[in-house]
Structure 1
Amino acid sequence: MGERGYGTLVTLTRVKVLDPANPNKSTAIFGGKASGILNWNELKYPHFYTLRQQIRSLFWTANEVDMTQDVKQFPTLTIAEQDAFLKIIGLLATLDGPQTDIAARLSHLSTDPSVKSLMATIADQESEHNHSYAYVLSSVTTYDKQVESFEMGRTDEVLMRRNKRIVEVYNEFAERPSIGSALKAMVYTTLLEGLFFYSGFAFFYNLARNQKMVGTSTMISYINRDELQHGRAISDIFRATLAENPSYNTEGFTAWVYDQFDHSVEQEIIWSRYVLGEIDGIDMEEMAGYIKYRANKMLRMLGLSEMYPEYTKNPMRWIKAYVDSFDDTKTDFFEQASRQYVKTSDLNGFDDL
């Protein structure tokens, strides 16, 4: 039985906690052999140690952010700003909640203990992101409004249409874990980390540049910083998994990835117009260009060519003031003439990412 355009179906099951008959150095990220003993000085992919160190260096907690001024300012926002604020928090909570679970599921199915550790670190940060949205709302609005905001992910029709494919891909991975469904889940994880959050982030940064809700913007910048690193880590694990399983590196799968990006960009633009259309200071055409720019960056990180060559530079340059400079991606390694995945066949190749 094949797996939708691939070769033999490779199902995945939760691996043993310890299996001393296997080597400490994992033989593969999924479906391999490893004892479960993690020696950071003996890894199949030493690059994963660097990723974990970078992510751990960003540690923060929501209650470190002073919300005093935001509490006073929220009632002074326009009705449109208040409505967008609550809708966007609802979106972010809808996306970040499942990210904790997805990271844990990838960890449970991986036979590489360094990936398990990396996913545990990411899962912990995603959990804090979700907590931060509740923290923000509890600071600035009533309990009923907080509940309403978190209900949006399953009640707002525009948001539900926007998230339909995410639900399908994530649930397929949860219900039928395999190499193929894991690769698809990682594609959508990079979309979440590198594209789906960004019109929402722009809203909060736009408030901050008008001296509004600076505490919330500070919180969002911390989350933004984390998500950039998470997207980088997941894209690297994706590429390593693909290199280990070359039967999945097909034109059909590549076409599927491009289709998901095209659909996601379309839905993100629809969502941004729905939630930001009445917000002063955000130009909708610039926002659409920014979304396409973000899509190009994430495609390069996955090892694919850009879909929107006219958006290789950020059209909303003012956002750079609110995001750390490590957002810059080394693009030269990824700019390939053909629309095929960059094959990384050995472990040291990841040092060039």
Structure 2
Amino acid sequence: MIKKRSIIDVDAPNASTGLINGRSSNILNWDDVRFPWAYPKYKRMLGNFWTPFEINMSKDIKKFPALTEDEKDAFLKTIGLLALLDSIQTDYAGKVADYLTDSSLNALMIILAQQEVVHNHSYSYVLSSIVPKSKQDEVFDYWRTEPSLRERNDFITDGYKGFAEEPTVDNLLRSIVYDVILEGLFFYSGFAFFYNLARNQKMVGTSTMINYINRDEQLHVGLFEKIFKEILTENPEYDTQQLKDFGTAAFYKAAELEIEWASHIIGNKIDGLLMPDLEAYIKFMANKRAEQLGFEAPFEGHRSNPLRWIIAYQEVDLGKTDFFEQKSRQYTKTSDANGFDEL
């Protein structure tokens, strides 16, 4: 079992003796922390700060009624899906934070949870702009009423429950695999849908907001990747072939569920977004994410991004007004470190 972090430990050092099951005073001094990568992560996450109020939705209000019925359906159901997953993610981040001995990583997890709250607020903000309250309530209940959402959502929630109910090292490691699936794979067909609308000059405000969320999620995936690898470094007895097999199988199953969802909600019904390309994109992302955690890629081939146009919606020069023409956005320049090349 993993021990919960102490509120204060007067005899322990500020820099923790271990990521989990270690000792720490629980006093956060960024100049006295265990992991040298924690402070740069902290700065990056703060640099991403945003709120939904910054996004001008006036054009989307006019554009939404002009969408096709298939586009409206995909739009609302995808928002409903994201609202559920980010709600779960907020709670999961808090549970993980309770068991991280290191105070700097606990702080990062709290920031991550706060960002997930902002993401969920953004979905309410979008819906309140374009549909009546009754429809907004309906969308936020899709997780109860849409059978197509249940299996893929249960896949994540059941994985999280294992750690929440029995906080062992193995269950924490497995829950992180589910986290990377949620934040680094399950959102991605939805992101592609919104970016495709934007390149057709539809719902540009919403797509701007999705771009902010996408940037946050990439940082979150990177943080959990670091935590996953540090746990295995400190506890090598858990770096087993069984864990590797589990990881590859989990990403394979997750990709299947994401493809099934995309076929149901997008199919070949959305102009400019072909299902064969989207399926290949999902398999490409599943391979990338599995390998990030040190697992074998679940799919043979799929080494290049078939939706290269997505990159143009995220690689924005520092300080320039972005292509959405919403406002000036101070982006970090793209590099190998920030993950944009993976899209």
In 2, Cα distance between equivalents of 1:22 and 1:324: 44
Alpha-carbon offset, residue 308 of structure 1: 3.0
Q: Could you say which residue in structure 2 is the equivalent of 1:310?
A: 301
In 2, Cα distance between equivalents of 1:140 and 1:188: 32
CA 1:220 to 1:265, structure 2 compared with 1: closer, same or farther past 3 Å? same
Equivalent position amino acid for 2:127 in 1 = L
1:290 aligned to which of 276, 281, 284: 281
The equivalences for 1:64-79 within 5 A come to: 64-79=54-69
Q: Does 1:189 align with 2:186?
A: no
In 1, Cα distance between equivalents of 2:92 and 2:171: 12
Q: Is the 8 A contact 2:18 2:102 kept in 1?
A: yes
Equivalent position amino acid for 1:90 in 2 = G
Q: Could you say which residue in structure 2 is the equivalent of 1:59?
A: 49
Q: Does 1:281 align with 2:267?
A: no
2:96 aligned to which of 100, 106, 111: 106
Alpha-carbon offset, residue 323 of structure 1: 2.0
Equivalent position amino acid for 1:145 in 2 = K
Equivalent position amino acid for 1:139 in 2 = S
Q: Deviations over 1:218-247 (max 9, x none)?
A: 000000011011101111111101111111
Alpha-carbon offset, residue 216 of structure 1: 0.3
Alpha-carbon offset, residue 328 of structure 1: 6.3
Q: Could you say which residue in structure 2 is the equivalent of 1:28?
A: 18
Q: Could you say which residue in structure 2 is the equivalent of 1:127?
A: 117
In 2, Cα distance between equivalents of 1:78 and 1:234: 38
Could you tell me the TM-score, scaled by structure 2's length?
Answer: 0.90
Could you tell me the TM-score, scaled by structure 1's length?
Answer: 0.88
Give aligned pairs, total.
321
Q: Does 1:236 align with 2:206?
A: no
Q: Is the 8 A contact 1:26 1:113 kept in 2?
A: yes
Q: Does 1:174 align with 2:174?
A: no
Q: Deviations over 1:245-297 (max 9, x none)?
A: 11111111111111100100000000001000111111101001111111122
CA RMSD of aligned residues (A): 1.6
Q: Is the 8 A contact 1:30 1:109 kept in 2?
A: yes
Q: Deviations over 1:60-109 (max 9, x none)?
A: 00111000000111111111111111100011011111111111111111
In 1, Cα distance between equivalents of 2:245 and 2:291: 15
Q: Is the 8 A contact 2:87 2:117 kept in 1?
A: yes
Q: Deviations over 1:121-178 (max 9, x none)?
A: 1111111001100100000001111111111112211110112221111111111112
2:315 aligned to which of 307, 324, 330: 324
Q: Is the 8 A contact 1:261 1:295 kept in 2?
A: yes
Q: Is the 8 A contact 2:248 2:296 kept in 1?
A: no
Equivalent position amino acid for 2:111 in 1 = T
Alpha-carbon offset, residue 211 of structure 1: 0.5
Q: Could you say which residue in structure 1 is the equivalent of 2:243?
A: 253
**Structure 1 segments (4+ residues) deviating >6 Å:** 325-328
Gaps of 5+ in 1: 1-10, 331-353
In 2, Cα distance between equivalents of 1:328 and 1:82: 35
Q: Does 1:265 align with 2:255?
A: yes
1:143 aligned to which of 122, 133, 137: 133
Q: Deviations over 1:188-238 (max 9, x none)?
A: 111111100000011111111110000000000000011011101111111
Q: Deviations over 1:9-34 (max 9, x none)?
A: xx124322111111111011111111
CA 1:327 to 1:190, structure 2 compared with 1: closer, same or farther past 3 Å? farther
Equivalent position amino acid for 2:88 in 1 = P
Q: Is the 8 A contact 1:228 1:327 kept in 2?
A: no
The equivalences for 1:38-57 within 5 A come to: 38-57=28-47
Q: Could you say which residue in structure 1 is the equivalent of 2:320?
A: none
Query: 1 or 2 for the larger relative contact order (CA 8 Å, sep ≥6)?
Result: 1
Q: What SS does the aligned partner of 1:311 have?
A: coil
In 1, Cα distance between equivalents of 2:17 and 2:42: 20
Q: Could you say which residue in structure 2 is the equivalent of 1:86?
A: 76
In 2, Cα distance between equivalents of 1:156 and 1:170: 21
Q: What SS does the aligned partner of 1:163 have?
A: helix
Alpha-carbon offset, residue 329 of structure 1: 5.0
Q: Is the 8 A contact 1:29 1:111 kept in 2?
A: yes
Alpha-carbon offset, residue 312 of structure 1: 1.4
Q: Is the 8 A contact 1:292 1:311 kept in 2?
A: yes
